[in-house]
Structure 1
Amino acid sequence: MNRKQKSLQLTLVSATLLAVLATGCSSNGNSNSSGTATSPAPAGTATGTGTAQASPSAADANYPASMTYWVQMNGNAGAIMKTYNEMAAYQEIEKKTGTKVEFQHPPTGQEKDQFNIMLASGNLPDVVEYNFGSTVGLSASQSPDALIKGKQLLRLNELIDQYAPNLSEVLKEHPEFKKMITTDEGNIYVMPFLLGDELLSVVNGPIFRQDWLDKLNLKVPTTIPEWEAVLTAFRDKDPNGNGKQDEIPFFMNLNSDYDLNHLFVGAWGITTDFYNDNGKVKYGPIQPEYKEFLATLARWYKNGLIDKDYASITDAKLKDNKILNNEVGAYSGFAGSGLGRYLTLQKETNPSFSLVGAPYPKLTEGGANPLGQYTNPFTGYGAAISAHAKNPEQIVKWLDYKYGEEGHMLINFGIEGVSYKMENGYPKYTDEIMNNPDKLPMSQAMAKYFQSGWNGPFVQDKRVIEQYYTIPAQREAQKTWFQADHSKQMPSISLNADESSKTASIMNDVKTYRDEMFNKFVMGAEPIENFDKYVKTLEGMEIEEAIKARQAALDRYLSRK
């Protein structure tokens, strides 16, 4: 995928107002825009990204009178409502379209089981909003193509062409999106959730205690050797000032640091999983560079630069305790939950506590740009339509409303004059969101009015996350992390039934063995000299078959039109 694609410069009336509020972030955010209110351009005005579609009246659009809609209840919404019908945006959409929606929310934690039960029974509601990307390659019978062939879900290509002018405009302006949402067999299976700006795909990275760096007169490290030097200083020079050598220089989180954001391993130009090296699929853990990466971590672990308990810490509260108790010098995390939240929690009790987002480290000064965290603009999430729906044309029209001018503003910002006000052409959240009078956290205040705090069948507006990150350190961290290389990111490929059945058990065994040996190498239980033996074991597990399957899937993806 071309990582140089232009960032979308979107105006209020464009049908392609796109962006994302990072999934998993749980902190506040703000953009310090100011000015006087201006009126939006008239509907149908040409903009830099195309021509916006005027929202038709309910009578003219022939929206459905009613529909059933299955969707997981977001946690922030669930804390303050029983159904999305209570959300202000959906109440207003009902007024605009005349459509009464019966939302069906599965019990929290049972979403996947309920999804499987629905498929097995064949008793599907009109609309199913789900992350279909979580099933692709894992269950051949649940792949979108299989569900369409089995007459459980509808192919949407022709319906979108005829009845979804707003989404059609998005796909016309950005053919890379159409490529992403189309399967290898040429099917579009959902009205998609899309990230419209590359900056919004980057939400996680390395974080340092800025006050510790300042106390020791150190700069934010940018290379692997500089990291080692800074972590050593954290270990030896008592930056927390308690007179004890109890600092944890680096708190390591396996899933986040390596599988998610390629921290450290990306300095060697590889990942801990499959990656795309100029169209060739490679598996990072069998590359020679992976041996050097392991050797570096093993040295750091032996020298006390990494938390000795890292392998046994799975509870997020334990991480919170270590960071908030002034023990941790560096870690990785989200700009929201991993940076903004800690700064907010420490503001009163430890005002000197400060954090800074660090760049992903290069291997050496002047070396190649390291790999970093990146989320593909489309990952399989969206709203599918049941093959048993009686009025799919009308349902597509209703879903398309949220990709247009009115729907976009409602689903991203809520009610003008209540949850946001236009200031100099910018939809700025009011105190109802930023300083909720009922003391609701910002994430819950957002959920009360609109859906853009998580995902759904719409395109998210960049201006949401600009305001969600209230603290300058959050916005600066995101910009810093974005400088990493994202060119080797694997697109959202789809394994066919044969590839899936052949490689599912292979990868289960491979990942189990990879994780087991990672810990052994890092902790010194297995000498790094046995790396070649480890690689041969993975080869014996048929890792090459898994690589071939993903190569075939990548080739198909790259040939999509």
Structure 2
Amino acid sequence: MRTNKTRAANLLLASLLLTSAATACTNNSGGANNAPPSETNATETTNKPAAEAASFTDISSAIRGNKTPTQEQKDEINNTLNDTYLGDIFDKVIPSDYSAYPYKKDVTLDVWMPANSNVPDMNNQAVQKQIERLTGIKVNFITPPVGQEADAFTLMISSGELPDIIIDPGRYPGGLEAGVNDGAYLDLTDLMEKHAPNYTVWRNSDESRRKTTVTDSGKLQGFYGIAPYSEWTWFGMLIKKEALEKTGLPVPKTIDEWHAFLKKAKEVGYAEPLNYGSTYGQIFTGIINGAYGVWDWTFLDKDGKVQWGPAQPKAKEYLSTMQQWNKEGLLNRDWATADFNQRMASAISSKTAVMMDSPDTMWSYWKQQNNIDFVGALNPVLNAGDQSATTYKNFMRAGTAAAITTQADDVEAAMAWLDFGYSKKGWEILNYGEYGTVHLIDENGKPYFPADSYIYKDPEGQPVATTLHKYRMHSWPDIRDEHNSNPLIVAEGSYSGDIRKEWTENMDTSMAVPPITFTQEEASREAELGNQLSTLRGEYFAKIIKGELPVDAYDKFLAEAKKMGLEEFLSLHQAALDRYNQR
């Protein structure tokens, strides 16, 4: 990070950069209040020569369907920008503008990002090293120790010494937009078409992608992970097949059926049949509580208005149910304190019959590592015949986001480096890793992981739960192709994707709130109220479920929430939703 710059100097530099770039973009057609540019216009605003798109030799016939590529072919794929062998597998064509690469100057970008325990050193992560070679832009990743991300981010922001790029910029108090308003992040609105042509084309190729990546006022403030589709629901009820066999009961649907199943599971030997929670938030999942309409946080009612789940009429009924289940020993005893490792240890033990988790995660821990088969169940309902529901909806925004700071030494280089993730070559490398050792290309030009891929047969013997981060990027500001490139979903014999697809197709998502944003004035107040309400909910709900407070204590909880400013909190969200709907 930079120690020789003053904040004032940095902000002045950023202002000059923006002014210069805005002047250079005077012929662009897409302003903040104009309709989004077409793909053709977005491409024409770059310096790309007209013939460059056709400058690569078409090698599709030699690569598609080839299961034993030569070293020369591997080098061509991995060390050049040739993407002619890749097919167009989505309803919109992924752009291929490589005019910025190799970058014209020698530059090294400082990039701050949260640590990943599966990647000991991001500066030697395989995919990132390959991108560095292809773009000609060197990167120095700055990652705090695992578990210290929040403190490290706060310290970095308060110090006034910022890197060029921040991954997961929403950590800023009040979110990304507040970071722009406070002078920490750059407003990229007038720079995107010229310096991020691939991102511009991709985000404008679908209305949902466009709408979720622009602010209410039409500003572009960062690079978002954007999927080619709305990703499947990723979290729900998972039951060991052996538990169904031992109880002799079918997959439960209603709350009463779930109660009967859990009681029977306990009778046949599962000491703590439902792994209900942990320190990382599994208590509030919208799975069991959703059956009562007591959603975790905000949701849309039948009239499309924002409401707060914990304040709904059946909250006491939900809490009474969970208090009873806890008293009967149907929940894991450490649900309020268990960390991830403790939770997974419990999952594979003989005491657990049901997990509330991702089928991808449990495919790794249950099936791959311990040969435990499982099935998925739709979110419970109160009454037979009711439709299962969830507040999870992807809106085609996936992965994570990135912001360029006002202290970036080379804004154009920062944008070019991020923009690569939205090109066809970037889509391939970031999602599927290196050609040859990690992925191959099928007859239709679609990347895939062969059985002997490093993903599945790591030379160091690491499990897929680790290699999916080691040899590819699982969550990144890019075109995230989760359905096709998550190795836990596409592994031979895997049914985790089938479970997620079934959940998605059979659960109502009409109550899901889209990714709204708050104004600078709203953001700090919303964060303040949100933190207070979250703490209040956590304390009361946990104590009531554990029996430390009676169910009637909920009345005091609701009164305190209202006194705390619940109505104001909801009004902030409603105003933001109204603006989102007008984008």
What is the CA-CA distance between 1:275 and the residue it aligns to? Answer: 1.3
Amino acid at match of 1:383: A
Q: 1:497-555: CA deviations, max 9, x gaps?
A: 43344454444343333233223433444443554444233222222221122222222
> Relative contact order (alpha carbons < 8 A, sep ≥ 6): 1 or 2 greater?
1
Cα pair 1:205 1:357 within 8 Å, conserved: yes
Q: d(CA) in 1 for partners of 2:532 and 2:408?
A: 41
Deviations 1:415-466 (A, max 9, x none): 2222211122332224222112331333444444332x23234434531125
Going from structure 1 to structure 2, the CA distance change for 1:318 and 1:94 (only over 3 Å counts) comes to closer
Partner of 1:229: 260
- Which residue, out of 269, 279, 282, partners 2:293? 269
Which of 363, 381, 391 aligns to 2:410? It is 391
Moved more, 250-259 or 292-301: 250-259
Residues 66 and 102 of structure 1 are in contact (CA less than 8 Å); yes or no, is this contact kept in structure 2? no
Q: 2:170 aligns with which of 122, 133, 140?
A: 133
What SS does structure 1 have at the residue aligned with 2:429?
A: helix
Any conservation in 2 of the 1:63–1:397 contact (CA below 8 Å)?
Answer: no
Q: Distance in 1 between matches of 2:343 and 2:482?
A: 32
For residues 356-396 of structure 1, give each alpha carbon's deviation from its aligned partner in whole angstroms, at most 9, with x where no partner exists: 22111122111133225445543793222233434323432
Structure 1 partner of 2:458? 436
Mean Cα deviation higher: 309-318 or 484-493: 309-318
Unaligned segments of structure 1, at least 5 residues? 1-34, 241-245, 348-352
Asked if residue 184 in structure 1 is aligned to residue 216 in structure 2, the reply is: yes
> Which residue does the alignment assign to 2:112?
71
Cα distance in structure 2, aligned partners of 1:288 and 1:386 = 45
TM-score if structure 1 supplies the norm length?
Answer: 0.79
Equivalent residue, structure 2, for 1:402: 421
Q: Which residue of 1 aligns with 2:29?
A: none
Q: Matches of 2:89 and 2:328 in 1, distance apart?
A: 58
Q: Aligned partners of 1:448 and 1:133: how far apart in 2?
A: 25
Correspondence for 1:284 among 297, 300, 309: 309
Match of 1:164 in 2: 196
Q: Deviations over 1:332-355 (max 9, x none)?
A: 1122333431233323xxxxx432
Alignment partner, residue 343 of structure 1: 367
Could you tell me which residue of structure 1 aligns to residue 397 of structure 2?
378
After the TM superposition, which of the residue ranges 40-49 and 296-305 deviates more from structure 2?
40-49
C-alpha distance 306-384 of structure 1, shift in aligned 2 (>3 A) = closer
Distance 2:573 2:307 in 1: 9
Is contact 1:359–1:484 with CA below 8 Å preserved after alignment? yes
Say yes or no: does 1:328 pair with 2:386: no
In 2 relative to 1, CA 441–178 (structure 1 residues): closer, same or farther, beyond 3 Å? same
Deviation (angstroms), 1:144: 3.0
Query: Amino acid of the residue matched to residue 54 of structure 1?
Result: S
2:135 pairs with 1:101: no
Q: Tell whether the 8 Å contact from 1:43 to 1:53 is kept in structure 2 after alignment.
A: no
Partner in structure 2 of residue 14 of structure 1 = none
The alignment partner of 2:314 has SS state of: helix
Three-state SS of the structure 2 residue aligned to 1:189 is coil
Contact 1:340 1:469 in 2 (8 A): no
Contact 2:225 2:400 in 1 (8 A): yes
| Residue of structure 2 equivalent to 1:511 | 534
- Counterpart Cα distance in 2 of 1:107 and 1:529: 43
- The structure-2 alpha-carbon separation of the partners of 1:304 and 1:149, relative to structure 1 and needing over 3 Å to count, comes to closer
* Counterparts of residues 285-304 of structure 1 (less than 5 Å): 285-304=310-329
C-alpha distance in 2, partners of 1:413/1:170?
A: 19
1:380 and 1:322, CA in 2 relative to 1: closer, same or farther beyond 3 A?
Answer: closer
Of 463, 472, 475, 2:484 maps to: 463
Structure 1 residue 197 and structure 2 residue 229: aligned? Answer: yes
Q: Secondary structure at the match of 1:356?
A: strand
Question: Does the 8 Å CA contact 2:378/2:388 hold for their aligned counterparts?
Answer: no
Letter in 2 for 1:438: E
The reply to whether residue 155 of structure 1 matches residue 171 of structure 2 is no
User: Are 1:49 and 2:91 an aligned pair?
Assistant: yes
What residue is the counterpart of 2:74 in the other structure? none
Residue aligned with 1:364, SS: coil
Q: 1:164 to 1:500 in 2, by over 3 A?
A: closer
Q: Which residue of 1 aligns with 2:551?
A: 528
Q: Do the aligned residues in 2 keep the contact of 1:145 with 1:185 (CA within 8 Å)?
A: no
For structure 2, the 5+ residue unaligned runs are 1-63, 68-76
2:32 maps to none
- Does the residue aligned with 2:440 lie in a helix, a strand or coil? strand
Q: Cα distance 1:145–1:247, how it changes in 2: closer, same or farther (>3 A)?
A: closer
SS at match of 1:115: helix
Shift of 1:227: 0.9
Aligned to 1:119: 157
Give 1:420's aligned residue: 439
Please tell me whether residue 454 in structure 1 is matched to residue 465 in structure 2: no
**Structure-2 separation of matches of 1:514 and 1:476:** 34
Q: For residues 20-41 of structure 1, what are the alpha-carbon distances to aligned partners after superposition, in whole Å with 9 as ceiling and x for unaligned? A: xxxxxxxxxxxxxxx9449998
Amino acid at match of 2:579: R
Per-residue deviation, 1:63: 4.7
Match of 2:277 in 1: 253
Once residues 543 and 358 of structure 2 are traced to their aligned partners in structure 1, the CA distance between those partners, rounded to angstroms, is 28
CA distance in 2, matches of 1:366, 1:341: 33
CA distance in 1, matches of 2:289, 2:109: 46
CA contact (8 A) 2:132 2:138 kept: yes
TM-aligned CA deviation for residue 124 of structure 1: 2.6
Q: Which of 364, 375, 378 is equivalent to 1:356?
A: 375
Counterpart code for 2:106 = A
Match of 1:206 among 224, 237, 251: 237
Measured against aligned partners, the alpha-carbon deviations of 1:398-429 in whole angstroms (never above 9, x if no partner) come to 32122111122111112222221112233222
Work out the CA distance in 1 between the residues paired with 2:467 and 2:524. 44
Residues 92 and 298 of structure 1: is their aligned pair in 2 closer, same or farther, counting only changes over 3 Å?
A: closer
